[in-house]
Chain A
Amino acid sequence: SQTIHQWPATLVQPVGSPLSLECTVEGTSNPNLYWYRQAAGRGLQLLFYSVGIGQISSEVPQNLSASRPQDRQFILSSKKLLLSDSGFYLCAWSVGTSTRRGTQYFGPGTRLLVL
């Protein structure tokens, strides 16, 4: 069965520090991978998605970046965090979008607090 991992679970970082959040998927190959941010009050904002190694689509221009160095690994980074980067970061993977039976599964999330 497929599982998705995110770490760390919680992170407190000072403004201006770098960021690296990691997401890995097990039990599937060539998944689409996604990074979302969820601010307080629920809405899910798509940040990046990737359909393959080295392929990244950015949805929101900001000081974050994403990379996919391996098939089942997705990394969210920043060189200098802002206060507004605080939030709940969710990684997700999907299957079946090419067959019009797309289904998406989420990781447990990383709570980021920038002080």
Chain B
Amino acid sequence: GQQLNQSPQSMFIQEGEDVSMNCTSSSIFNTWLWYKQDPGEGPVLLIALYKAGELTSNGRLTAQFGITRKDSFLNISASIPSDVGIYFCAGQTGNQFYFGTGTSLTVIP
């Protein structure tokens, strides 16, 4: 199946720093989604984007749906220790969802 290019693969940052990660695809998507997964648990939806160019915030998280519909980014401002986890992007077209390979985030107190 199709896989999205997600970067960076991992990040080690100091508490309080901002974080940025992105996903690109060769295909156009109708929807971009961002998830966070803690160890041993299912991914939890953070932000859903439905329109090209859309910029959406959820607390300290901000995500954008790229204007070409082939990319999206997620920013986390003022990181805190509980932000630790793996972040996944996903693109939706038809009945299927395609996932990035994940960004592992470590926050150093």
| Chain A residues positioned under 8 Å from B43 (CB to CB) | 90, 106
CB atoms of B102 and A42 under 8 A apart: yes
Scan A102-113; emit 1 where CB is below 8 A from any B CB, else 0: 111111110100
Which A-chain residue is minimally distant from B42 (CB atoms)?
A: A106
How many CB-defined contacts (below 8 Å) exist between A and B?
Answer: 70
| Chain A residues positioned under 8 Å from B30 (CB to CB) | 100-102
**Cα separation A88 to B43 with both chains bound (whole Å):** 12
Scan B23-52; emit 1 where CB is below 8 A from any A CB, else 0: 000000011010100001111110010100
CB A29 to nearest CB in B, in angstroms, measures 17
CB atoms of A43 and B99 under 8 A apart: yes
**Cα separation A59 to B1 with both chains bound (whole Å):** 8
Interface size of A by CB at 8 A reads 28
B contact residues, range: 20 to 34
Which B-chain residue is minimally distant from A106 (CB atoms)?
A: B42
Query: For residues 75 through 114 of chain A, which have their beta carbon under 8 Å from a beta carbon of chain B?
Result: 88, 90, 92, 94, 96-97, 100-109, 111
Interface residues of A (CB under 8 A from B): 6, 32, 34, 42-46, 49, 51, 59, 88, 90, 92, 94, 96-97, 100-109, 111
